[in-house]
Structures are given as structure tokens and as C-alpha cells.
Amino acid sequence: MPELSVVIVATDSEQRTMLQVLVDGTSVARTVHSCATFPVAAADPVMRRVQAAAPEVLLVDIPSDSHSPAMRAIELLRQELPDSAVFAIGSLSQPQLIVSVMRAGAREFIERPTTTTDLLEAFVRLSTSQRRVQKEGSRGKIFSVVNAKGGSGATTVAVNLALALQSAYGQTALVDLAPLGHTSLHLNLKPLFNISDATRNLHRMDSSLLESFMTRHSGGLQLLAGTNAPASIEPSNTEFVRLFDMLVGHYKYVVVDNSSRLDAASRLVANLSECVLLVACTDVASLWSAARVQHYLGESGNRERLRLVLNRFRKVPGFSESDAETAAGVKLLWRVPNQYFAISSAIDRGSPVMEQSHTEIARCFSGLAQELTRNDVDVKRAAWSLFKTV
């Protein structure tokens, strides 16, 4: 692995010195410059010196008592040094901070107090992904599916959407985050591993290990199966971010079945998604719940990415689609017809309706896949990066 050049930005002098020792101690990276203040503008002399050092990695320490100057600095550094990767160092106890830092353009969030091993692992991940990106181009998109109310059809939508994306574009993964995973039943698969195995092994995850946790469906769709027992240990937010970072590095499209899971993990995945499909039916309880769920997921700035999918759709006299949108507080994206017999027997047989080509219901899910990928200039290589980097 070639040596990486690193610039350290840390306002605390002890932390600055410590980081330099740790970076140089990895023996795969070397500190080329360190700054005691955050750059505040492109023309700032601090920024000039960082640019002159042309580092591959910018290590930015986020002080516990004040985040804003560090966040602004990360955005500015990403803008002025688009080829450098930003690693943020901070406290893991604030999930929202991690998401904001990633959205500002950081590639990694490393816990403080930091160890040489933490840095070494992050440097190795960067080098590996640079090699992979050079080989393959850009990264995939996440579409997550969440129920307004239990049983609304999230799993049916997620499974058939994933199959439709796989059939149209290939390289699609389906990730089952439901409290109890049903996707393998819908697809008639018997997974050897599931999401818990993947999150338990994140510390040693690489491409081949990730692939070994996936279960292949006959048409090529790769399933990261859900748990078959309620999870005893929940992975941390950083672990989830790392898992999804790996997934978008591997697959063009990643569909996530959250079903009725509403917790920090489903909110985090919503944050990372291109579009969040909120599945509801046209009854009062379902639309009332949809409004509550959109409020919960929308709190962390996701509102514009939430879209309503009306499942078991049938016209109700005196109740229009715009009434449904108003009740749920989400724009309508798609309607899935009410076809109880076709869908329930497909689930029982483990043969999803997408496999019954030329049927109205299969065309409906193909149409949803087309709609979601409509703006991809080059659908064969989706131009999106989770961390706005490399």
C-alpha cells in the first residue's frame, strides 16, 4: 500500500500532537502538515497551506463543545480539495453529529479517543476503495421501504422493486432490516448468514466477506437476509453507516426493507437513501400512521426524499389521491393495485409477482423501478456517492 499523505486540522494542541503520533505510527501514512485553526474561506492562508500540501487525507478533529466551525471547515475542505478524503474525529455519543458530518462530505467518522488501529483500518479502507473506484467508477443508490402501519406491504414492495431493478439494470442488493426478516420467505431462499453476521464482522469486512454473507436469488438479486430472532445486540450507527458504505460500493442499487422498524437505524438508513418509500393503504388508520411516520423520519431533514406508495389501491368514492397526500403529508409516488390472491399466493409459494411477467402487478413494479431511476443520466453507472467523495 503506498504511503498516504495526511493533513491534521485540530484546534487543541494536545490532540494535534497525539494525532500526528498516531498517524505516523500506522506506517502507511505520514503527516505532511498540521493546522491549529479551521479554514473559514477559500482565500484563507490556512486553506492555502493545506492546498499546497495536497494531502490524500484530511484529518479533522471536531471539538466536543462546538461543532459548527468544524462542520463548515469540512464542507469548505471538500469543496476546495475534492480529491482529498476527509476523516472526522469526534464523539460517537451523538448520532446526529455523525450523520451531519457524513453529509458534510466526510468519508469516515472515527471515535475519540482514537487509536492507531482505528486510523490504520480507515487508511486501508480508503486505499482499497480508491483501487476499487478506479476500477469500477461511481457508487450505488439506496431506496428504503418503510410501512406506515404493520402489514401495509413494505416487504412485498421491497422484494418486487429489488427484482425489477435487478432485471432492468443488474447489480442490485436487497437488505432486510425488518425486526423479523420475511424477505427470504418471499424469495424462497434459505440464507446461511444474515444481517447480524454482517454487522458483527464489520471490523474485518471486505468485498469478499460481504459477498459471502449475501444469498443469491436465481435472477442474480443478492439478499442480505434479515434476522430470524429479535436482535439481542443492536449495531451502532457508525457500524450501519460502514455497512451501507460497503454496499453502495458494491451494488448499483440497494433496496432496504425496513417493514415496521422505526428506530435510530431506520432513520439513519432513511438519511442515507436517495428515496424513502412510505407504504400505506387508503384507510384512515394507515394514512394517520403515515403522517406520524413521515414526521418521525422527516425530523432529520429527510422530508423531501419521502414518497408515498399507496398499496392495495382502489378508488374510494369521495376520496381522491390528493386527499391521501394531504392526510399523510407526503407526495404520492406510486399506486400498487389491490390483488390479494396474486400477492398472497406468491408469498406462500416463495415466487414473487415480479416473476409473473406480463401481468399488471409485475408491470406495476417495473414501472416503479423506472420511475425511481428516471433521473439517472447513466443508469448503468449511477453517479451518486454516499459521502460525496471519491
Member of 152, 171, 172, 222 binding ligand ATP (CB under 6 A) = 152
Q: Quote the least distance from Cβ 181 to Mg ion, whole Å.
A: 8
**Nearer of residues 232 and 340 to ligand ATP, judged by Cβ:** 340
Per-residue binding string, ligand ATP, 322-341, x by CB under 6 A, is --------------x-xxx-
Looking at residues 108 to 167 of the shown chain, list those that interact with Mg ion (rule: CB under 5 A): 155
Are 9 and 49 contacting, i.e. CB atoms less than 8 angstroms apart?
no
Roughly how many angstroms between the first and final C-alpha of the chain, as a whole number? 18
Asked if 236 interacts with Mg ion (CB under 5 A), we say no
The verdict on 259 binding Mg ion (CB under 5 A) reads yes
Smaller CB separation from ligand ATP, 10 or 336 = 336
Residue 21: CB atoms within 10 Å: 10
- Beta 57-61 vs 275-280: how paired, if at all? unpaired
Examine residue 343 and tell whether it contacts ligand ATP (CB under 6 A): yes
Piece in contact with Mg ion (CB under 5 A), picked from 135-143, 176-184, 238-246, 273-281: 176-184
Q: How many residues does the chain have?
A: 390
List, in order, residues 6 or more apart from 337 with CB less than 8 Å away: 312, 313, 314, 360, 361, 364
Among 139, 141, 217, 312, binds ligand ATP (CB under 6 A): 312
| Exposure b/e, 154-176, CB count within 10 A at least 16 = b | bbbbbbbbbbbbbbebebbbbbb
Judged by CB, which is closer to Mg ion: 78, or 186? 186
Scanning 64-72, 154-162, 236-244, 367-375 for contacts with ligand ATP by CB under 6 A, the matching segment is 154-162
Angle at 318 between CA 312 and CA 319, to 5 degrees: 45
- Judged by CB under 6 A, the chain residues 161 through 200 that form the site for ligand ATP are 178, 182
What is the helix, strand, coil percentage profile of the chain, to 5?
A: 45, 20, 35
Q: Torsion over CA of 267, 272, 277 and 280, rounded to 10 degrees?
A: 0
CB 30 → ligand ATP: shortest distance, Å? Answer: 50
Residue 340 binds which entry of Mg ion, ligand ATP, none, with Cβ cut-offs from 5 to 8 Å by kind?
Answer: ligand ATP
Burial class (CB in 10 A: 0-12, 13-18, 19+), 119: buried
Residues that bind ligand ATP (CB under 6 A): 147, 150-156, 178, 182, 259-260, 311-312, 336, 338-340, 343-344, 347
